[in-house]
Amino acid sequence: MEDSVFIGGGGENYAVKQGLTLKYANRHGLVAGATGTGKSVTLQILAEGFSKAGVPVFLSDVKGDLSGIAAAGSETFKLHQAFSDRAAKIGFDDYGYEAFPVTFWDLLGEQGHPVRTTVAEMGPLLLARLLELSEAQEGILNIAFRLADEQGLPLLDLKDLQALLVWVGENRKDLALRYGAISVASVGAIQRRLLILENQGGAKLFGEPALELTDIMMIDADGRGRINILAADKLMGSPRLYATFLLWLLSELFEELPEVGDPDKPKLVFFFDEAHLLFEDAPKALVDKVEQVARLIRSKGVGVYFISQNPSDIPEDILGQLGNRIQHALRAFTARDRKQLRLAAETYRDNPRFSTEDAIREVGVGEAVTSMLMKKGVPGIVERTLIRPPSSKLGPIDPSDRKQVINTSPVAGKYETLKDRRSAYEILKLRAEKAATDAEALEAQEEDMPVHEREFNAGRRYSGTRVTRSTSRTTRKQDSFGEAMGKMVMKELSGTTGRKLVRGILGSLFKGR
Ligand SMILES: Nc1ncnc2c1ncn2[C@@H]1O[C@H](COP(=O)(O)OP(=O)(O)OP(=O)(O)O)[C@@H](O)[C@H]1O
Ligand SMILES: [Mg+2]
């Protein structure tokens, strides 16, 4: 079992050890099953196993019942006997209780370290999805991103995007020459969407310091991979935010990590719980990109495991890429259920000892139909596997213990304070103020002039010819001001986020168009 993560016992009397081969763990996986059939515990033991093998893990805790991974199980726990019996049955001889190294994260910053990204890093495609924009509105968002890039306006938080949209609205007549008509109604609609997102807690996701990926890929001094747990219980109230955030994280991993080919074990294993949320009324373009990311992220050494009640929740192209499968029981009440069950069974390599379809219907709680990739990446024959019991605590950790884990984590203090450096909002505000004082100064200056000169100037100003106006003093002054701004922005761009801003807008998978 050395090169694999121990899953449980299969074969006759569950006596044959079953494992997930580390070498193929980057070929993704699926954990499926109806409510209460054992998906969460399976997730827990997989996280434990990967951690022990020195592989960092990222998972979201949708119901708040996975935080116990940070604490050891206990002999006084009501299921202690059941766990021990199960361990004995599958020949898990060195079964014992232990805690695992956990880093807690929370988009809302309450139950873990705040996790943030910038508006620029999220990019227009994912933001449009997050805001549920129409095609026309998405077009305007794209223009806004392009302008921010051209004008050197860093988009860090929602305030920046809001200020930029105001600016786009104000300048829409000039912009129309280059980009076509920009409707006030559409700009307004995006602004309203941003307000909704803000009310859902979305403002907390955007800003700096942004998450550094190395912080979710840590290995402890004792060689165990850290398990990153994202608090997602409250987040599930805004499913779009949840799904888009995880998708962003995946695409970020894909873009930032170097190629490693097929490593002996993954660099990171990423669990995508409630995966159906990702695909619910998702446009084809998005599904295609998820499929593409899943296919390509393998060679970066990242294994992605989708967790869902029913495999039919996941688009076929993606399902086909999930090599390691743990299928808990599916219900078969309706004709539709039975059809889905049959389809699910058809995707496995049959075991002569039993019918896959019957097995998927019959397996008990904490038991599953499993098929792991074997030599040369070929799917193994289906087994009925009794899943091993967890070594860490089943259920949520005590709030005081959680606090302790957060305070002593390797990233404690790094993300807690929001940094609000100069970005689009501040720059646009400064520009507006500067333009106002310039205009005032010019007016005051003119009042001091002899009457005939003032009249001449006034006449010139009202001559209506653009040529004269563009060489007027105010504009020139603004230009040199713009230059100074430009230099300042370039300085800011030399920071990480600045570089990312440019990259974020110039393209790559999710970010450009
Ligand atoms: N591998 C296991 N070893 C021991 N007990 C298990 C195992 N798997 C499941 N159980 C028992 O079954 C219960 C339900 O499992 P679990 O919470 O994992 O189900 P679930 O599929 O995640 O349900 P839900 O859809 O409601 O989240 C557990 O609380 C535990 O008591
Ligand atoms: Mg569960």
Ligand 1 atom at shortest distance from the alpha carbon of 309: 25
Ligand 1 atom at shortest distance from the alpha carbon of 43: 18
Position 470 scores a pLDDT of: 33
467-480 burial by CB neighbour count: b if 16+ within 10 A, else e? eeeeeeeeeeeeee
Q: Which ligand approaches the C-alpha of residue 395 most closely?
A: 1
One DSSP character per residue, 304-329 reads EEEEES-GGGS-HHHHTT--EEEE--
Mutate to test the pocket of ligand 1, among 65, 307, 365, 391 (most ligand atoms within 8 A of CB): 365
Position 460 scores a pLDDT of: 52
List, run by run, the mean pLDDT of 10-residue segments along the chain (513 residues). 90 96 97 96 98 97 95 97 98 97 95 95 92 93 94 93 94 90 94 92 91 97 97 88 90 94 94 88 84 93 96 92 97 93 93 96 97 94 97 97 97 93 89 86 79 63 39 38 46 40 37 41
Position 492 scores a pLDDT of: 43
Contact of 509 with 255, CB cutoff 8 Å: yes
Task: Tell me which H or E stretch contains 248.
Answer: helix 239-256
In the structure, which protein residues have their CB atom closer than 6 angstroms to any atom of ligand 1? 33, 35-41, 63, 79, 83, 86, 365-366, 387, 389, 394
Question: Which of 326, 323, 319 minimizes the C-alpha distance to 287?
Answer: 319
Write the residue with the smallest CA distance to atom 12 of ligand 1: 38
Instruction: Specify the pairing of strand 4-10 against strand 16-21.
Output: antiparallel
Position 202 scores a pLDDT of: 87
* Ligand 1: centre distance to CA 321 (Å): 26
Position 463 scores a pLDDT of: 43
Long-range contact set of residues 75-82: C-beta below 8 Å, sequence gap at least 24: 77/393, 77/394, 79/389, 79/394, 82/389
> Given the structure tokens 């993704």, which residue do they identify?
28
Ligand 1 atom at shortest distance from the alpha carbon of 83: 4
3-state secondary structure of 250: helix
